[in-house]
Homo-oligomer: A and B are copies of this chain.
């Protein structure tokens, strides 16, 4: 017998990951959104939202990333069912941590489950992307893919959509620091130049290939040397007060590399132990504090599991 209701926890994610602008992202353990989805008699999708930044998110199904993702899925599987969706936001919108992506994934995965899983996880990706487009206005997979599938995901191509799940070295740890300041994602995108010198394109490709190699070999020296973004980060730094001191604080405390998570304001860093990851978090938090911003810190391994079904 299929269930009538499901609770699902979907984690935040870090997109871009320095050299992987628009084509790389990884999943975190925390923070996360929790979605409660229930079948109902009446068609249509009724959305309620609580938690961090809930006020800023539309509850109209067509303008909400969970709602729009669900509508995309229902169209694909030709279902007219109705659902109530409650989103308990744990990921602050505009944080650079894939807040809208997490809700989109939760909606799509939850409804697919309630329908008896007509689609495989990889087949849900396109609907999660359609959902997230409600917030970003564009189709991206670098947050939804890791949130949906776990791990660190390379989007090799968008047309056709082609993703590669990279292996994660055993002792790789992530630190994310989220300061209490908001970035407008569209503004952050507008700062990025539309064209780049071909030399820059070659360097960016070299760095992403070096990063990819390091994921297979665990060569953290190469990983660190490869964690340079030439396409977006040089232009987006200015939106994050204290970027340079926070970045430097991470490296001074043992980070392999550090960069802006998505379009910010969160920053992420990689390190080789949980102890170092936590030490880096404290140092980055302190550096933001020095600029007048309180931060949240999240240190963990990269999450390899898909979203957790709570009940």
Chain A residues within CB distance 8 Å of chain B: 19-24, 154-158, 162, 164, 166, 192-198, 200-213, 216, 222, 225-226, 231
A154 CB contacts on chain B under 8 angstroms: 206, 209-210, 213
CB of A168, distance to nearest CB on chain B (Å) = 13
A193 CB contacts on chain B under 8 angstroms: 198
Further pairs besides A193-B198, A208-B209: 12, Cβ < 8 Å: A19-B205, A23-B205, A156-B209, A156-B226, A157-B225, A162-B222, A162-B225, A195-B195, A196-B196, A196-B198, A208-B208, A216-B216
Copies of this chain present: 2
**Nearest-neighbor residue (CB-CB) of A164 within chain B:** B213
**Nearest-neighbor residue (CB-CB) of A203 within chain B:** B157
A22 touches which of B22, B192, B202 (Cβ 8 Å):
B202
A156 touches which of B164, B194, B201, B207 (Cβ 8 Å):
B207
A162 CB contacts on chain B under 8 angstroms: 210, 222, 225
A216 CB contacts on chain B under 8 angstroms: 213, 216
The distance in angstroms between the C-alpha atoms of A221 and B204, with both chains bound, is 24
The distance in angstroms between the C-alpha atoms of A20 and B206, with both chains bound, is 8
The distance in angstroms between the C-alpha atoms of A158 and B202, with both chains bound, is 10
A192 CB contacts on chain B under 8 angstroms: 198
Q: Are the C-beta atoms of B155 and A201 separated by less than 8 Å?
A: no
CB of A234, distance to nearest CB on chain B (Å) = 13
**Nearest-neighbor residue (CB-CB) of A155 within chain B:** B206
The distance in angstroms between the C-alpha atoms of A155 and B203, with both chains bound, is 9
CB of A133, distance to nearest CB on chain B (Å) = 16
A21 CB contacts on chain B under 8 angstroms: 202, 205
